Amino acid sequence: MSGPAPSGMPGPASSGPSPRLVVRHAQVWDGESTDLRAHDVLCEDGLVRSLEPAGSIRPGPQDTVLEADGAALLPGLVDAHVHLVWSGGSDPAAVVDEDGEQLTAIRAAANAGAHVRAGVTTVADLGSNWDVAISVARAAERGHLVGPRILAAGRTVAMTGGHDPFWVNPCDGVDAVVRGVRQQAFLGAGIIKTAATGGVYGRAEGEEVGAGELTYEELAALTHEAHRRGLKVTAHALGTEGIRDAVRAGVDIIQHGVFLTEEIVADMAERGTVLSPTLAVYRSIAEGGGPAYAAAKATEVVRAHADSVRMALAAGVPVIAGTDAGSPGMPHPSLAAELACLQDVGLGPVDVLRAATSASGDALSRPVGRIVPGTVADLLVVAGDPLADPVAAASPTAVVSRQRVLTPG
Ligand SMILES: [Zn+2]
């Protein structure tokens, strides 16, 4: 593998990484602007401290130095929708059934590692059996494994007999959803995931994408309680009625959002509701990446989805990049496929990059996705011009995560 070589590589985990990291001679994209600027970047204790003129920082003997050699430096990427317990096979739920809890936890840990080595330094895990992803998030935080920052929902707070029954914390009625949110918060969830409608992959029978699940009253109570606990809420919502209810209930991020209307996107834009369309996963399932029952439903979704995303963009709804990685045909990581789809439906190259960096950081209320003083120093060195070809960001030559320099490959 060619590319910039880190010097002063950090020692073993027990000794801890060097507190200071200097990235030299980088063409910095800050997560927002429309150009690259030449800088050295000083990072300390895992945060970006300052951006200085290129070549001006003189590193000390203890500092870790990453020589970018004129290559682009981007904020680490964010995937706003993954399932670490699944591995992208044609029927991942069946694999979890066969493996049981312990093997599933180990597989989830391995999947987490695959993300960070490919430059996906933050993920939102929106559903895991046995709350496994909450433990993986904690393990990564404690340095037991190499992984991205993980905002894990654990089990989803959703209705009995609804979408994704394999990892649901079943809650019916206003009191029950409040209790469900409190249970997930107590377990350590970093975000609350719910379902406002049925889905494509899940159950072969009895689940329709347009069918409503939690009621408006339940969604409103759930969202109110999550916000009281400082947690964002994201809802699986494909059908029009369910999306409308979720938006009115104050849900922060709509996942999928397949059947949007002008009225709904206007409401989303006014409230600042974010759309995570996950375009690539439905294409994959429609092309036969999953079970046959799901392919027929996915074909119907793909037809409407692109138009809905364009409608949302025209209304000014913030759009972020989520992959549903782990789902059929979507291995870890799959962000390159989603970035290409977002470009396909009309996002300009810089907006595609924002969707996977600053816009996602904002949507998740985390100080990630930007290279400005005070933000988390998750960084990527990328060859070529990512502002012309945003998909290239998903193939970095070096990754900085948790003060360590990782070289993909
Ligand atoms: Zn999902």
> How many helices (H) and strands (E) would you count in the chain?
11, 18
In CATH, which superfamily holds the domain spanning 77-363? Metal-dependent hydrolases (3.20.20.140)
Name the nearest CA neighbour of 400 among 14, 28, 92, 36.
28
**CA 176 to ligand 1 center in whole angstroms:** 22
Q: What is the pLDDT of residues 221-279, one digit of tens each?
A: 999 999 999 999 999 999 999 999 999 999 999 999 999 999 999 999 999 999 999 99
**CA 387 to ligand 1 center in whole angstroms:** 29
Distance of CA 85 to the CA centre of its chain: 15
Report the distance separating Cα 329 and Cα 294, nearest Å: 12
Q: What is the pLDDT of residues 44-53, one digit of tens each?
A: 999 999 999 9
Same fold, 6-74+370-406 and 77-363: no
Q: Which CATH class is domain 6-74+370-406?
A: mainly beta
- pLDDT at residue 3 greater than cutoff 50: no
**CA 127 to ligand 1 center in whole angstroms:** 7
**CA 222 to ligand 1 center in whole angstroms:** 19
**CA 59 to ligand 1 center in whole angstroms:** 44
Q: Where are the domains of the chain?
A: 6-74+370-406, 77-363
Q: What is the pLDDT of residues 295-312, one digit of tens each?
A: 888 888 898 999 999 999
**CA 221 to ligand 1 center in whole angstroms:** 22
CB 308 within 8 A of CB 257: yes
**CA 83 to ligand 1 center in whole angstroms:** 6
- pLDDT at residue 14 greater than cutoff 70: no
**Tokens representing 405?**
């320099």
- pLDDT at residue 10 greater than cutoff 60: no
Residue 343's Cβ-side half-sphere holds a number of Cα atoms within 13 Å equal to 18
User: In the beta sheet, which residues pair with residue 40?
Assistant: 52
**CA 69 to ligand 1 center in whole angstroms:** 39
**CA 62 to ligand 1 center in whole angstroms:** 43
**CA 279 to ligand 1 center in whole angstroms:** 12
- pLDDT at residue 344 greater than cutoff 70: yes
User: In the beta sheet, which residues pair with residue 50?
Assistant: 42
Report the distance separating Cα 154 and Cα 135, nearest Å: 9
CB neighbours of residue 275 within 10 Å: 26
**CA 75 to ligand 1 center in whole angstroms:** 24
**CA 28 to ligand 1 center in whole angstroms:** 32
Q: Which residue has the higher pLDDT, 12 or 258?
A: 258
**CA 80 to ligand 1 center in whole angstroms:** 10
pLDDT at 297: 81
Measured CA distances, 218 to 152, 178, 224, 271 (Å): 22, 9, 10, 19
Helix (H) or strand (E) holding 19, with range, is: none
